[in-house]
């Protein structure tokens, strides 16, 4: 495996192209096959579904549904992708997927649905380093296409930079991410820039399957929110023919995390 990139965010996983999520995401951040080293382009289409519910550090519960469609094109050493999400939010209007509750007080309740923020990302894969260590440098731009007036976004652009590391240890693959997110300022919320990171391990499991565990950290997104610590167990299955199916859950340990969250994604890679 050339690399195993979990974006997320994301949490919501940027796994799904969320801040992540996160990362985080999965912002907020997916498992990918090796990128061709020759001139041939490789294309990938991914449909995801993420659900979370909880108080996110606020006083009332919020339910979030995030349905991203992503297109990726790769030719070593570059990977470029675009994610177009559909988002629904039910609950206080100060809760965001990768940040939790950011207002510090109970905001008016909303029941909104529509286009989320578009995500543009680029990754540059370095040649293997001594010790069979792989390094990827990534940049992600969040475009404020979500309707801020209906609570679907902040109405500002965000820029994230990250470094991904991968190394195999026998039958295991270890991976780590370190990044920084610069958030666009808005008079509605006291948002601030923040760091994020993750550690994970992946191993073969069953026929054409891979089982993994990811630990994700995100710094507080505002002076009113909390840092986030989450675990994401996941399973990916490759039946062949370019298809990949992954299911995952998110387990949060701080107030800014959801009480319950999980999702799946289906990918097709060609040629």
27-55: pLDDT as tens digits: 333 444 444 455 689 999 999 999 999 88
Sheet strands (E) in 93-227: 95-96, 100-101, 109-115, 118-125, 133-143, 158-169, 172-183, 194-204, 209-218
- Secondary structure element (H or E) that encloses residue 73, with its range: strand 62-75
**What CATH number should be reported for the domain holding residue 260?**
2.40.128.130
User: Residue 100 pLDDT more than 80?
Assistant: no
**How much is the pTM?**
0.85
User: Residue 194 pLDDT more than 80?
Assistant: yes
Q: Is residue 2 part of a domain?
A: no
List the one residue out of 49, 53, 62 whose CA is nearest residue 110.
62
Q: Is residue 171 part of a domain?
A: yes
Q: Is residue 1 part of a domain?
A: no
Q: Is residue 203 part of a domain?
A: yes
What is the C-alpha separation between 87 and 66, in angstroms, rounded? 5
Counting every residue, how long is the chain?
Answer: 271
Q: Is residue 165 part of a domain?
A: yes
The average confidence (pLDDT) of the chain is 84
User: Residue 101 pLDDT more than 90?
Assistant: no
Residue that wins the pLDDT comparison between 26 and 91: 91
Q: With pLDDT > 90 as the criterion, what percentage of the chain qualifies?
A: 61
Q: Is residue 4 part of a domain?
A: no
User: Residue 95 pLDDT more than 90?
Assistant: no
Contact 73, 42 (CB under 8 A): yes
Q: Is residue 5 part of a domain?
A: no
What is the tally of structural domains in the chain?
A: 1
pLDDT tens for each residue of 106-133: 677 889 999 999 999 999 999 999 999 9
What is the C-alpha separation between 28 and 198, in angstroms, rounded? 10
**Residue 146 belongs to what domain range?**
10-270
- Per-residue confidence (pLDDT) for residue 24, from 0 to 100: 33
User: Residue 268 pLDDT more than 60?
Assistant: yes
Residue that wins the pLDDT comparison between 21 and 62: 62
């Amino acid at each position: 495996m050339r690399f195993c990139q979990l974006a997320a965010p994301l949490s919501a996983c940027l796994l799904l192209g969320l801040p992540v999520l996160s990362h985080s995401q999965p912002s907020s951040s997916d498992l990918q096959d090796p990128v061709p080293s020759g001139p041939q382009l490789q294309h990938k289409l991914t449909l995801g579904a993420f659900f979370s519910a909880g108080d996110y550090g606020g006083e009332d519960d919020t339910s979030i549904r995030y349905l991203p469609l992503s297109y990726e094109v790769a030719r070593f050493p570059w990977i470029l992708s675009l994610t177009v999400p559909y988002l629904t939010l039910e609950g206080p209007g100060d809760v965001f997927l990768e940040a939790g509750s950011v207002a510090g007080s109970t905001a008016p309740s909303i029941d909104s649905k529509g286009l989320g923020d578009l995500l543009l990302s680029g990754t540059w894969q370095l040649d293997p380093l001594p010790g069979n260590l792989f390094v990827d440098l990534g940049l992600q731009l969040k475009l404020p296409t979500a309707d801020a007036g209906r609570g679907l976004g902040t109405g500002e652009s965000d820029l994230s930079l990250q470094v991904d590391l991968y190394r195999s240890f026998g039958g295991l693959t270890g991976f780590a991410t370190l990044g920084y997110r610069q958030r666009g300022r808005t008079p509605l919320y006291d948002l601030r820039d923040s760091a994020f990171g993750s550690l994970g391990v992946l191993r073969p499991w069953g026929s054409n399957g891979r089982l993994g565990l990811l630990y994700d950290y995100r710094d507080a997104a505002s002076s009113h929110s909390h840092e986030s610590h989450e675990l994401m167990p996941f399973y990916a299955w490759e039946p062949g023919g370019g298809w990949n199916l992954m299911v995952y859950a998110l387990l949060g340990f701080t107030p800014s995390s959801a009480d319950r969250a999980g999702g799946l994604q289906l990918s097709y890679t060609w040629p």
